[in-house]
Amino acid sequence: MSKTKKPIVVGIGEILWDMLPTGKKAGGAPINFVYHACQMGAIGYAVSAVGNDADGDEILYELEKNNINHLITRVNHPTGKVLVHLQNGIPTYDIVEGVAWDFIPLHEDAKKLVQQADAVCFGTLASRNENSRQTIINLLQEAPADAIKFFDINLRSHYYSPELIRQFLHLANVFKINDDEMKIIRDIFDLSGTDKQICEQLIKQYQLKYLIFTAGEKYSIIYSPTEYSYLDTPKVKVADTVGAGDAFSGAFVYDILTGKTMVEAHKDAVKISAYVCTKEGAWPQYTPEMKG
């Protein structure tokens, strides 16, 4: 794409209230991705569903307040909530089932949007229900051949299967996984070797442009078919880590779409992710220097 054109990024999947000890904050991994790409300068769209309830009204207000475009359908299920428990800033999640984002409908407007997208982000969580899973798969098939199809595996509770992960890897060209998720992938796919060997194997097997491997407060590595980039994680005073991985994703994709190298994009992604760790919730406001 042209470096002068603002990239269009789309996040498809869960939109919800993170119920933090300090109060509720809007979130959901694909929507967090869109928020952070928008903060960097992209035109972002959230595709999801909320309920016909006050929580749905409030979450739409939050999207509009933060200048996030959206195709959010109102459905006859409650707006999603996740109970977030923090220990030393590290979250664990209790995810409410049978909520609006389990029932994301397939609309023609969403198809037309994805057909124009430079990047589409998705994960396993919103595909725990057949309704949303089919919508996500159908929309991914509408994306341009050269668009980034960003699969953030985002394993939560029991909401995934080997079959779903394989299907999404075939649909993706960028894959993001953390060190805890790698342990699960090793077990369910019976993989052996070092993390690096497995990452290189996945790139080759699924013809990925990039594979992003994150190890929390330790380091992150980005692989391509021909090179890799390793960076230590900066030491910061952590408020919470909610949304930090999504910030990494949004910054990396924005940089790649606007012409930066993989190494440059990795540096920005690490910087933005560390900044988000110093703030509460997934949607902190960026300072001007964060976008540089």
Per-residue model confidence as pLDDT tens digits over 135-161: 999 999 999 999 999 999 988 878 899
Strands (E), the chain: 8-12, 16-20, 23-27, 43-51, 69-75, 80-87, 90-95, 119-122, 148-152, 174-178, 210-215, 219-223, 228-232
Query: pLDDT category, 18, cuts 50, 70, 90?
Result: confident
Per-residue pLDDT, 159: 87
Average pLDDT (29-44) is 93
Q: What percent of the chain has pLDDT over 90?
A: 74
Distance CA 15, CA 27 (A): 6
Average pLDDT (8-22) is 90
Per-residue pLDDT, 2: 47
Q: pLDDT tens across 49-99, in order?
A: 999 999 999 999 999 988 889 999 999 999 999 887 777 767 677 788 999
Average pLDDT of the chain, as a whole number: 91
Distance CA 232, CA 211 (A): 17
Is 69 part of any domain?
A: yes
Angle at 198 between CA 91 and CA 9, to 5 degrees: 55
Per-residue pLDDT, 281: 67
Q: pLDDT tens across 158-216, in order?
A: 889 999 999 999 999 999 999 999 999 999 999 999 999 999 999 999 999 999 999 98
pLDDT surpasses 60 at 3: no
More confident residue, 22 or 252: 252
Is 291 part of any domain?
A: no
More confident residue, 283 or 118: 118
Q: In what order do the strands lie in the sheet containing 219-223?
A: 69-75, 43-51, 8-12, 119-122, 148-152, 174-178, 210-215, 219-223, 228-232
Domain with 145, as residue range(s), is: 8-281
More confident residue, 27 or 106: 106
CATH number, domain with residue 36: 3.40.1190.20
Per-residue pLDDT, 4: 58
Residue type, 12: I
Is 292 part of any domain?
A: no
Q: What is the pTM of this model?
A: 0.92
Query: Looking at the 3D structure of the chain, how many domains does it have?
Result: 1
